[in-house]
Amino acid sequence: MDIEDWSEYDLDTRAVRAGQQRSAEGEHAEAIFPTSSYVFANAAQAAARFAGTEPGNIYSRFTNPTVRTFQDRLAALEGGEACVATASGMAAIYATCAGLLKSGDHIVSSRSIFGTTTILFSNYLGRFGVETSFVPLADLEAWERAIRPETRLLFVETPSNPLTELVDIRALAELARRKGCLLVVDNCFCTPALQQPLALGADIVIHSATKYLDGQGRCVGGAVVGDRERVGKEVFGFLRTCGPTMSPFNAWVFLKGLETLGLRMRAHCEQAGQLAAWLEGQPGVERVHYPGLASHPQHELAGRQQSGFGGLLSFEVKGGREAAWRVVDATRIMSITANLGDTKTTITHPATTTHGRLTDEQRAEAGISQGLLRVAVGLESVRDLQNDLARGLGA
């Protein structure tokens, strides 16, 4: 397949087809290339490859055909010029910051982001002289107030985890442009199947491929998507030097995950929508957070910005921590784990797990109550999932 421009093809076609380059064997499925290095035809070719005057593989810390297929496919899905694959989602965020920032630069980040990303920004980047200010996700005025002359990067996840709050990506991208900063969106929860931040004006998209891109809980990986200069040169340059690249085996697993991405995300949305509506009618439930519900304060924005409402929901049960733990412990099929983006449904009590290290005050500010439960809805039957929760809610 020598299609260069995938933009005229629909997402489901790109997810199955983009990026594949068949070898001389004519294999139908994508091949895995488990090789650390590559051989050259002669000394002159070796010299040309190293000098960069001839394109081609040298070493798998730089490039690998299976990894490249994954990168090209994800770039086609997000509508980006370039994509670099990384060893994990955290490596993608770190490589983006390390590749594009220097000491003295400043980041403004949503405070409702993945906990480890907060630690990366505060503890590690801080040590190298890159400071981060945290702002409430949906408050555009707070974003603007936090921007300084040395601010280089705005960082956001939308919808947020676990409360499914949104920010208007187009408005935030406009602010970033006006202030001369880059907008980086961690698109882990929506994936390109539901939301394409680059088309809304964002500069860079981050992925934890570990979640929905794999979708079946098998491998850890990540990716950065954006333009040729910043991602294709700067972030790639950092990565080939510092080394947290993706292995060809993992790239192959993610490629196979991408082929069913649209199908799975539609099913996750459908299932989560049904479960959210059912939860809203349960007497033991105080409140349900899901962008697809008319009761969600940003339901209209979600409908405009996303092509589906996602697989993640949270709800508050009456009776605080004790009642919430009762619901968790009464489940039989849901997995009690903080992971998400799997065919298997997971249930978490954020206040004592993902947000357990926060002070009571920080938790209250973040809206994480003791009665809050998060469910990442998988692909089991909705009726069975309802029964699984009903047991604890009724007890």
Ligand X SMILES: *Cc1c(COP(=O)(O)O)cnc(C)c1O
Residues found near ligand X in the complex (CB under 6 A): 88-90, 114, 117, 157, 186, 188, 208, 210-211, 220, 222
Closer by beta carbon to ligand X, 45 or else 339: 339
CB of 83 to ligand X, least distance (A): 16
Closer by beta carbon to ligand X, 157 or else 388:
157
Residue 96: CB minimum distance to ligand X, A: 12
**Nearest approach, Cβ of 220 to ligand X (angstroms)?**
5
For ligand X, which is the closer residue by CB, 85 or 90? 90
Provide the minimum distance between the beta carbon of 39 and ligand X in the complex, in angstroms, as a whole number.
33
Q: What is the C-alpha to C-alpha distance for residues 322 and 142, in angstroms, rounded to an integer?
A: 35
Give the length of the chain: 395
Closest residue to bound ligand X by CB: 89
Q: What is the DSSP secondary-structure string of 166-226? A: ---HHHHHHHHHHHT-EEEEE-TTTHHHH--GGGGT-SEEEEETTTTTT-SS----EEEEE
Which of 160, 271 has the CB closer to ligand X?
A: 160
Nearest residue (CB) to ligand X, 6 versus 114: 114
Least distance between ligand X and beta carbon 311 (Å) = 12
CB 155, CB 122: distance < 8 Å: no
CB atoms within 10 A of CB 112: 25
Residue with tokens 């009618």: 281
Distance of alpha carbon 213 from alpha carbon 210, whole angstroms: 7
Instruction: Return the CA Rg of the chain.
Output: 22
Shorter beta-carbon distance to ligand X: residue 64 or 117: 117
- Cβ burial of 209 (10 Å; 0-12, 13-18, 19+) is buried
Q: Closest separation between CB of residue 102 and ligand X, Å?
A: 23
